Structure 1
Amino acid sequence: MQHLITLPVLLPLLAGIILLLPPCGKSLVLRRWVASFMALATLVASALLLSTILSAGPVVYAIGEWQPPFGIVLYADPLAVALCILTSFLSLVTIVYASRGDDKAGSFYHPLAHFLLMGVNGAFLTGDLFNLFVFFEVLLIASYALLMHKKDKHTTKAALHYVILNLVGSSIFLIALGVLYGVLGTLNMADMALKVALLQGDDIYLAKIGGLLLLIVFALKAALLPLHLWLPATYGRAMPVIAAQFAIMTKVGVYAIMRVFTMIFGEQAGELSGIASTWLWPLALVTLVVGAVGVLAAEDLRRLSANLVIVSVGTLIAMVALNDEQATAVAIYYMVHSTIACAAMFLIADMIALQRGKVQDRLVNSRGVAEPKLLGICFVVAAIALAGLPPLSGFVAKLWLLDASYGAEVAWVFWPIYLLASLATLVALSRAGTSLFWHDHPNQDEQFEDNVYAGKRRTWALVLILMVPLMMTVFAAPLNEMSNEAAAILHNSQVAIDTVFALAKEQ
Structure 2
Amino acid sequence: MNQHLISLPILLPMLGGLVLLLSGKATDHTQRCLSLAFTGLLLLVSLLLLHQAAGGKLAFYALGNWQAPYGIVLMLDRLAALMLALTAVLAMGCIIFACAGDDIRGSNFHGLFQLQLMGLNGAFLTGDLFNLFVFFEILLLASYALLMHGGNKARVGAGLHYVILNVAGSALFLIALGVLYGATGTLNMADMARRVEDMSGDDAALVTAGALLLIVVFSLKAALLPLYFWLPRTYAAAPAPVAALFAIMTKVGLYAILRVQSLIFIDTPAAAAITGWLWWSGLATILLAAIGVVAARDLRPLIAYLVLVSVGTLLAATALGTSSATTALLYYLPHTTLICGALFLIAELIGQQRGKAGTRLVRARRLYQRHLLGVMFLIAAVGVVGLPPLAGSLAKLLLMQATEGVARLWLWPLLLLAGLCALIAMSRAGSVFFWASYKGEVAAGKVSRAQLAGVVWLLASAPVLVAFGGPVSHYAQATAEQLAAPQAVIQQLLGDEPTQEIAQLRQLALGETQGDTL
| TM-score w.r.t. length of structure 2 | 0.94
Q: 1:391 aligns with which of 376, 379, 389?
A: 389
Residue 478 of structure 1 corresponds to which residue in structure 2? 471
Distance in 1 between residues matched to 2:84 and 2:63, nearest whole Å: 19
SS in 2 for 1:276: helix
- Unpaired segments of 5 or more residues in structure 2? 499-518
Deviation per residue, 1:257-307 (Å, 9 max, x gap): 1111111111xx343444301211110000000110110011111110000
SS in 2 for 1:478: helix
Distance in 1 between residues matched to 2:82 and 2:433, nearest whole Å: 35
Pairwise CA distance, 1:417 = 1.0
Pairwise CA distance, 1:501 = 1.7
Q: 1:275 to 1:493 in 2, by over 3 A?
A: farther
State percent identity of aligned pairs. 47
Aligned AA (1:177): L
CA contact (8 A) 2:97 2:451 kept: yes
Superposition map of 1:179-190 within 5 A: 179-190=179-190
Superposition map of 1:325-340 within 5 A: 325-340=323-338
Q: 1:357 aligns with which of 311, 333, 355?
A: 355
CA contact (8 A) 2:155 2:234 kept: yes
Matched, 1:410 2:407: yes
Deviation per residue, 1:424-467 (Å, 9 max, x gap): 01111001100111111241xx5623xx1111111111111111
Matched, 1:17 2:18: yes
CA contact (8 A) 2:129 2:187 kept: yes
Deviation per residue, 1:123-177 (Å, 9 max, x gap): 0111000000000000000000001102111110110000000000000000000
CA contact (8 A) 1:261 1:274 kept: no
Superposition map of 1:67-146 within 5 A: 67-146=67-146
SS in 2 for 1:75: strand
CA contact (8 A) 1:208 1:275 kept: no
Deviation per residue, 1:84-130 (Å, 9 max, x gap): 11111111111110100001110011011111111011101110000
Q: 1:289 aligns with which of 287, 290, 305?
A: 287
Distance in 2 between residues matched to 1:29 and 1:502, nearest whole Å: 51
Residue 62 of structure 2 corresponds to which residue in structure 1? 62
**Greater Cα offset, 311-320 or 456-465:** 456-465
Residue 459 of structure 1 corresponds to which residue in structure 2? 452
Matched, 1:448 2:443: yes
Distance in 1 between residues matched to 2:243 and 2:189, nearest whole Å: 31
CA contact (8 A) 1:223 1:310 kept: yes
Aligned AA (2:427): S
Residue 435 of structure 1 corresponds to which residue in structure 2? 432
Distance in 1 between residues matched to 2:300 and 2:442, nearest whole Å: 25
Distance in 1 between residues matched to 2:469 and 2:336, nearest whole Å: 15
Distance in 2 between residues matched to 1:493 and 1:275, nearest whole Å: 20
| TM-score w.r.t. length of structure 1 | 0.96
Superposition map of 1:147-296 within 5 A: 147-266=147-266, 269-296=267-294
Runs of 4+ with >3 A deviation:
270-275, 502-505
Aligned AA (1:456): R
Distance in 1 between residues matched to 2:497 and 2:41, nearest whole Å: 31
Q: How many residues align?
A: 497
CA contact (8 A) 2:355 2:442 kept: no
Distance in 2 between residues matched to 1:67 and 1:276, nearest whole Å: 31
Residue 47 of structure 1 corresponds to which residue in structure 2? 47
Distance in 1 between residues matched to 2:55 and 2:387, nearest whole Å: 34
**Greater Cα offset, 62-71 or 496-505:** 496-505
Residue 3 of structure 1 corresponds to which residue in structure 2? 4
Deviation per residue, 1:389-446 (Å, 9 max, x gap): 11111111111111111x2431111101111011101111001100111111241xx5
Pairwise CA distance, 1:316 = 0.3
**Greater Cα offset, 496-505 or 366-375:** 496-505
